[in-house]
Structure 1
Amino acid sequence: MKIRIRYTTAVTAALTVALAAAFVAALSSPAFAADAAASAAPKPALTVKRVVPQAGTWAQTLSGTGSIAAWQEAIIGAEIGGQRLAALEVDVGDRVRKGQLLARLSPGTLEADLAASKAALLEAEASAREAHQTAERVKTLQGSEALSPQAIDQALAADGAAQARVAAAKARVQADELRLSYTRITAPDDGVISARVATPGALVQPGQELFRLQRQGRLEWRAEVPGAELAQLKVGQTVRVQPSGAPALEGRIRRVAPQIDAQTRNGLVYVDLKAGEALRAGLFARGDFVLGESSALTLPQTAVLLRDGFSYVFRIDGTKVREQKVQIGRREGNRVEVKSGLAAGVAVVESGVGFLVDGDTVRVAP
C-alpha cells in the first residue's frame, strides 16, 4: 500500500510541473505578447479625416450692421383746409410719375369764388378803360384854361387808381385759381407710395399728411461702423449687403457721416442699393465693405471649435490629437481664415471636433 501511494504522489507532482512549464511557455510566446499588448492599448475615440490649411487670396472686408431705409421720403399733404377728400387715385405700393394725380378734394365754394373774382376783374378793367380815356382827353387840355389844374390832376389820379384796381383784381383771380388747383394733389417726384393716411370723405386740414412717397424708388443701407474704422471707407467703394429675408445684393458707398455718435462710438455710412422685389425699407441688414485683397490661410468651418469665446483646432499627431488655440479672421462661404496659431501644412481634424478632447486617440481615415 505504501508503494502505491508514493507512486500516485509522484505522478501528480510530475503533471503539475508539466502544466506549469506549459503555461510559462505560452506566456512567453510572441502571439500571447501581441494579444496582451493589443488589449492594453487604448481604443480610438473617433475615426477622423485630416485636412491641411489652404493658402489663397481673399477680399479684405470691414463688417457693419444697420437698416434699409428710403433714400428720401417726401410727405405729401393738403395745402388748403376745410375741403372734403373726394377721391383717392393711388394706393400703397403704386409707382407714380411726377405730376401724376394722387387725390382730389371737393372744390366746394372755390369755383364760385374764382368766378366772382373773374367778374370783378372784368368790372375793374372796364372802369380802368373809361378812366384811361378820360385821362387821355384831359392831357390834351393841359396848358389851356378849359380845365383847372386840380381837375386835371384828379383825372390822372383816377386813371392810376383804376389801373391799380385791375392789378388787384388779377391777383385775386390768380389766388383763387391757385387755391382751386390745390384741390388736385399731385406727386412732387417719381417714386413709390410707401404709406397712405388719407380716407375718402374725410375733412382735410392744411398741412395734413395724406401720403408718403419714396422718391425715385431709391433705397439705401444706413450702416453703423466703429468710428475708428471710418477712415478706411471712401465714397464709391463696393459693399456686399445681406438683408434679413432677402437675397444678397451689391451697393456703393454714397456718403460717410462726418461725425460719430457719442453714445455708441459708431458712425453712419450711407450705401446706395438697387431696388428689388424682396427689398423693403425697414429691413435689418448685415454687410461687408470691400477694402481690397490679401492672402489668407483657410480651413473648413467644421474644423474649428468655438469654446469659452476662443477658437481651437485639433492637430493630428500620429494617433493622437492635440488641441491648438488659433485666431480666426474672415469668413467666406463654408471656410474661415486662420490668422495665427497654425502653420501651413499642419494636418488637423476636418470635422467632429466637438466630440474630441486634448490627447484623444483617433483613427485617421485614409
Structure 2
Amino acid sequence: MAAKRFAGKWLFWGAFVLLAIAAVVFTVRPDPVWVDLATVSRGPMEITIREEGRTRVRDRYVVSSPVAGFLHRVLLEVGDPVIPGELLTEVDPMPASTLDARSRAEAEAKVQSARSALNSTRQKATAAEAEADLAMRELARLQALRGDHFVSEERLQQAKAASDRAQAILRSARFDEEVMAHELAAARTRLEVSAARASGNGAVERVPVRSPVNGSVLGIIRKSEGVIHAGEAILELGDPGALEVVIDVLSFDAVKLSPGVTVRLTGWGGGTLDAVVRRVEPVGFEDVSALGVEERRVQVVADITSPLEAWETLGDGYRVDAEFVLWASADELQIPESAIFRRDGQSLVFRVVGERGELTTVSTGRTNGFYTVILDGLSEGDLVVRHPGRQLEDGSRVRVR
C-alpha cells in the first residue's frame, strides 16, 4: 500500500514538472511574425515610361497681309474649314510710293525665289508620292501573303506603320507645295501693285487674302478691321488631320528613347491609340514641376499610327497620356519588387515553407519598379514575404495577416 502511494506521488510530480517545462517553453519561445505574402507567378511584363503630352498640328501656316493697307473684318471662326483659294478677307492698299529701281529688283528677285521654291517643293511632293505608293504596294503584297502564313504579323504591322508614315509625309509635302504657291502669289501681288502705281493708275483694286492650304482655322490673330502693315499676321491655318504628339520627357528618361519606340496614348477621352517616336530633340530645357522642383526635360515627337477614325475628335493642343514601351515580354517569372532586399551584394527573399520563412538567394532580371523578373532561385507558385521587416530571420515562424 505504501509502495503504491510512493509511485503515485512520483507520477504526480513528474507530470507536474513536464507541464511546468512545457509552460516555460511555450512562454519564452518567440511569437510568430505577422507578414503579407505574394505568389511567384508567370505572366506578361513591360517596362514603360509614362509622361503627359499634347497634340499639335504638324504643318501650320500663318496667313499675313501681302500689302500695307486697311484690313476688312475677318468673318471666319476658329475651327471653320477652308480650301485652297478661298477668300479669307480683303485689304484696301494704302497709297504708297512707287518702288525705286532697287526695291523693284528686290521684288522681282523675291518672285523668282518663290517660283524656285515652289518648283523644289513640287519635286519633293512627287518623291513623297512615289514613296507612299511604294509603301502601299508593299503593304498590299504582305497582306496578300498573310493568308498563306508567309509573313509574320509583326512584319505586317511594320509595313502598315511605314505606309502610314509615308502618307503623312506626302500630306506634309503637298501642304508645303500649297504654301509655296501662296508665297509666289503674294510676291507677284506686291510687284503688280507697284507696277499699277508706276503706270499712273490711281484706282487700285482691293487685295484679296486667300487660303493657301486645305485645312481649318487654328487661330485668329487679327479679327477686327483697321490699318495693317505688310507682313502682319492675320490668321493661322493648318490641317487637323495631320496631328503629332509632343511629350516633355525628363532628360534622364529621354536617353533611353530613340526613333521607332512604340508609344501608347491614353487619357484623352477615347480608346488607346498607337503611336511611334519620330524624333527625340537633342536640346533640353528647364521646367518647374507642380511641386516647385526644377527639372531638365526634352521634347519627344511621336506620330499617331492608329486609323484616323479612332482619333478624329482630337484637335490641336489636346492633352494625352503617353506611355513609352521600352521592353515587353509575354511570359516572365516575376514577384513584387517589395519582396526583394539586398545584402552583401546578393538579392534575397524570404520564401515561406510551411509556417516558417526561409532566407533564399535569387537571381533577378529586369524590373519595372513594381515587379521584378526572377531568373533563378524560385519556382512558380512559391510564396514569398512582402516588405520583410528586421524582426524576420531565417527559420522564423510567420503568420499571415
Q: How far apart are residue 338 of structure 1 and its match?
A: 1.8
Task: Report deviation, 1:83.
Answer: 0.8
Partner Cα distance (1:83, 1:336) in 2: 66
- Whether 1:72 and 2:59 are equivalent positions in the alignment is yes
Tell me the amino acid that sits aligned with residue 51 of structure 1. T
Q: What is the aligned counterpart of 2:239 among 195, 215, 227?
A: 215
- The 1-side partners of 2:203 and 2:356 are apart by 92
Which residue of structure 1 lines up, in the alignment, with residue 81 of structure 2?
96
Other structure's SS at 1:207 match = coil
Q: Which amino acid aligns with 1:27?
A: F
1:49-72: CA deviations, max 9, x gaps?
Answer: 441232x4556x674857433312
Which whole-Å CA distance do the structure 2 matches of 1:286 and 1:33 have between them? 66
- Which residue in 2 is equivalent to 1:83? 70
Instruction: Give the alignment partner of residue 215 of structure 2, picking from 191, 211, 214.
Output: 191
Percentage of identical aligned residues = 15
CA spacing shift, 1:228–1:252, aligned 2, 3 Å: closer
- The change in CA–CA distance for 1:344 and 1:210 in structure 2 (over 3 A counts) is farther
Structure 1 distance, partners of 2:15, 2:328, is 72
Which shows bigger deviation, 265-274 or 188-197? 265-274
Classify the secondary structure of the residue corresponding to 2:351: strand
Task: Report what 1:288 is aligned to.
Answer: 324
* Equivalent of residue 303 in structure 2, options 260, 272, 278: 272
Q: Return the letter of the residue paired with 1:98.
A: I
Task: Quote the Cα distance in structure 2 between the aligned partners of 1:293 and 1:62.
Answer: 12
Distance 1:86 1:286, change over 3 A: closer
Partner residue, 1:51:
39
The answer to whether the 8 Å contact 2:33/2:398 transfers is: yes
Two-structure CA RMSD over aligned residues (Å): 5.1
Distance 1:290 1:305, change over 3 A: closer
Q: Is the 8 A contact 2:82 2:217 kept in 1?
A: no
In the alignment, structure 1 segments of 5+ residues that lack a partner are 1-16, 111-167
| Structure 2 CA distance for aligned equivalents of residues 178 and 250 of structure 1 | 54
Displacement of 1:324 in angstroms is 6.7
> How many residues end up aligned between the 2 structures?
273
Instruction: Find 1:203's aligned residue among 205, 216, 227.
Output: 227
1:71–1:241 Cα change, 3 Å:
same
* Other-structure match for 1:344: 379
Pairwise CA distance, 1:88: 2.3
SS in structure 2 at match of 1:344 = coil
Give the deviation of 1:311 after TM superposition: 9.1
CA distance in 1 between counterparts of 2:314 and 2:388 reads: 37
Larger Rg: 1
* Residue equivalent to 1:329: 366
Q: Deviations over 1:285-319 (max 9, x none)?
A: 43324777565222357x54799xx9985432543
Match of 1:42 in 2: 30
Q: Conserved in 2, the CA contact under 8 Å of 1:260 and 1:266?
A: no
Q: CA 1:200/1:50 → structure 2, altered by over 3 Å: closer, same or farther?
A: closer
1:9-57 per-residue CA deviation (whole Å, 9 max, x = no partner) reads xxxxxxxx9xx9798434333x554444333332233253441232x45
Using the alignment, how far apart are the partners of 1:177 and 1:326 within structure 2?
A: 88
Q: Is the 8 A contact 1:70 1:220 kept in 2?
A: yes
What is residue 100 of structure 2 aligned with on the other side?
Answer: none
- Is contact 1:85-1:203 (8 Å) kept? no
Question: Equivalent residue of 2:206, what SS?
Answer: helix
Contact 1:197 1:209 in 2 (8 A): yes
2:16 is the counterpart of 1:27: yes
In the TM superposition, 1:293-332 aligns within 5 A as 293=329, 295-299=331-335, 304=339, 314-321=350-357, 322=359, 329=366, 331=368
> Per the alignment, do residues 180 and 210 of structure 1 end up closer, same or farther by CA in structure 2, a change over 3 Å counting?
same
Return closer, same or farther for 1:39/1:63 CA change in 2, 3 Å cut-off. Answer: same
- With structure 2 as the length reference, what TM-score do the two structures score? 0.49
TM-score by length of 1: 0.53
- 1:209-268 Cα deviation digits (max 9, x unpaired): 2222333432213456655763xx44xx64323468876421134x446x8449999987
- The alpha carbon displacement at 1:340 in A equals 5.3
